[in-house]
Amino acid sequence: MRHGKKFNHLGRKKGHRTATLKNMSNALITHKRINTTVAKAKALRTHLEPIITKCKTNTTHSRRIVFGYLQNKEAVKELFDNVSVKIADRPGGYLRVIKTGFRKGDGAEMAMIEFVDYNDVYTAGSVGGAKKKTRRRGKKGGAKAAAATATAAVAAASSEEE
């Protein structure tokens, strides 16, 4: 029965589940992007986003709280020095889960989880991205410009004949 089930237990006991989420959190902070199953990615997102929010305030207390969750000095240093600078003005939603298909061996649905601010493909397109393509004529004048160029062509042809 699922009475009172508030989160995905991932088919593990509590100790194994916390160890899995801690190791995945450290890998994600280190590499900025990891591939895993959709269920683990969603569980990791709910586990890690409050920790990332805690790293916005760079105090000794918040560093100790975050270290209590991650148990990795290098990951805590990376989180407070590099990641917190990029997410300082963001009010939440630091991680993105992108579904990538199904695993060949067992058919599990796979996903890529990444930091939103570290994907250069998305951020480069939104900052100074290319002009939106439309099928309209644009600012060149449309029918009036076409008529003017046609009359200019007729005038040029008649002047060449003379």
CATH of the domain at 66: 3.90.1030.10
What CA–CA distance (Å, rounded) separates 62 from 69?
Answer: 11
User: Is 140 inside any structural domain?
Assistant: no
User: Is 96 inside any structural domain?
Assistant: yes
Identify the bridge partners of residue 113 per DSSP, sorted by sequence position.
34, 97
User: Is 157 inside any structural domain?
Assistant: no
Q: Say how many domains are in the chain.
A: 1
**pLDDT, tens only, 48-91:** 999 999 999 999 999 999 999 999 999 999 999 999 999 989 99
- Give the rounded percent of residues in the chain with a pLDDT score beyond 70: 77
Range of the domain at 93: 14-128
pLDDT of 128 strictly over 80? no
pLDDT of 156 strictly over 70? no
What CA–CA distance (Å, rounded) separates 22 from 28?
Answer: 10
User: Is 71 inside any structural domain?
Assistant: yes
User: Is 155 inside any structural domain?
Assistant: no
Whole-prediction pTM: 0.73
User: Is 138 inside any structural domain?
Assistant: no
User: Is 42 inside any structural domain?
Assistant: yes
Q: Is 36 exposed, middle or buried (0-12, 13-18, 19+ CB in 10 A)?
A: buried
Phi, psi of 36, deg, nearest 5? -155, -175
What CA–CA distance (Å, rounded) separates 112 from 37?
Answer: 8
User: Is 154 inside any structural domain?
Assistant: no
What CA–CA distance (Å, rounded) separates 52 from 49?
Answer: 5
